[in-house]
Amino acid sequence: MRRILFVDDEPRVLQGLARTMRNLRDVWQMDYVDSGEKALALFDQSPYDAIVSDMRMPVMTGAELLRKVCDLYPQTLRVILSGQSDKQAILKSLECTHRYHAKPCDAESIVQVLNDAFETLFSGATILRAKLTGLRNLPYRMDTGTHIKNLCSTESPAPADLTKIVAQDVALSIRLLQLANSSFFGPPGTVADISSAVMLLGADGVSQVNEIVQQRQLEDGSCTPPTQDFAQNIGEHSYKVALAAARIARAENCSDASVGEAFTAGILHDAGRLALMACEPTSYEQMLIECKGTGWDIEQVERHLFGFDHGDAGRYLLSLLGISKSVVDAATFHHRPRELNASEFSAAAAVHVADSTLRGITNFIDCANDHSIDVDYLEHIGCADRLSLWQQKTIEELPV
Binding-site member from 41, 85, 292, 293 for another protein (CB under 8 A): 85
Rounded-to-integer distance, Cα 322 and Cα 218, Å: 26
Rounded-to-integer distance, Cα 267 and Cα 259, Å: 13
State the amino acid at position 239 in one-letter form: Y
376 sits near another protein (criterion: CB under 8 A): no
Binding-site member from 106, 155, 376, 385 for another protein (CB under 8 A): 106
| In the complex, minimum distance from the CB of residue 76 to another protein, in angstroms, rounded to a whole number | 23
Rounded-to-integer distance, Cα 267 and Cα 112, Å: 27
| In the complex, minimum distance from the CB of residue 120 to another protein, in angstroms, rounded to a whole number | 26
300 sits near another protein (criterion: CB under 8 A): no
Please say which residue, 184 or 390, places its beta carbon nearer to another protein: 184
Helix, strand or coil, per DSSP, at residue 287 = helix
20 sits near another protein (criterion: CB under 8 A): yes
- Beta strands (DSSP E) in 48-102 are 50-53, 77-82, 99-102
Rounded-to-integer distance, Cα 238 and Cα 245, Å: 10
Please say which residue, 60 or 171, places its beta carbon nearer to another protein: 60
15 sits near another protein (criterion: CB under 8 A): yes
16 sits near another protein (criterion: CB under 8 A): yes
Rounded-to-integer distance, Cα 153 and Cα 142, Å: 17
Please say which residue, 84 or 258, places its beta carbon nearer to another protein: 84
Task: Give the single-character DSSP code of 224.
Answer: S
Binding-site member from 76, 84, 195, 196 for another protein (CB under 8 A): 84
107 sits near another protein (criterion: CB under 8 A): yes
DSSP run (H or E) holding 350: helix 347-361
105 sits near another protein (criterion: CB under 8 A): yes
Q: Which of 139, 211, 192 is nearest to 323 (CA)?
A: 192
10 sits near another protein (criterion: CB under 8 A): yes
How many residues bind another protein (CB under 8 A)? The answer is: 24
Helix, strand or coil, per DSSP, at residue 213 = helix
CA dihedral angle for residue 326, residue 328, residue 334, residue 336, rounded to 10 degrees: -80
90 sits near another protein (criterion: CB under 8 A): no
Q: Which of 178, 193, 21, 177 is nearest to 114 (CA)?
A: 21
19 sits near another protein (criterion: CB under 8 A): yes
Cβ-contact 313, 276 below 8 angstroms: yes
26 sits near another protein (criterion: CB under 8 A): no
Please say which residue, 103 or 136, places its beta carbon nearer to another protein: 103
Q: Which residues in 47-66 contact another protein (CB under 8 A)?
A: 56-59
| In the complex, minimum distance from the CB of residue 20 to another protein, in angstroms, rounded to a whole number | 5
Helix, strand or coil, per DSSP, at residue 109 = helix
102 sits near another protein (criterion: CB under 8 A): yes
Query: Which residues make up the interface to another protein (CB under 8 A)?
Result: 10, 12-13, 15-17, 19-20, 22-23, 56-59, 83-86, 102-107
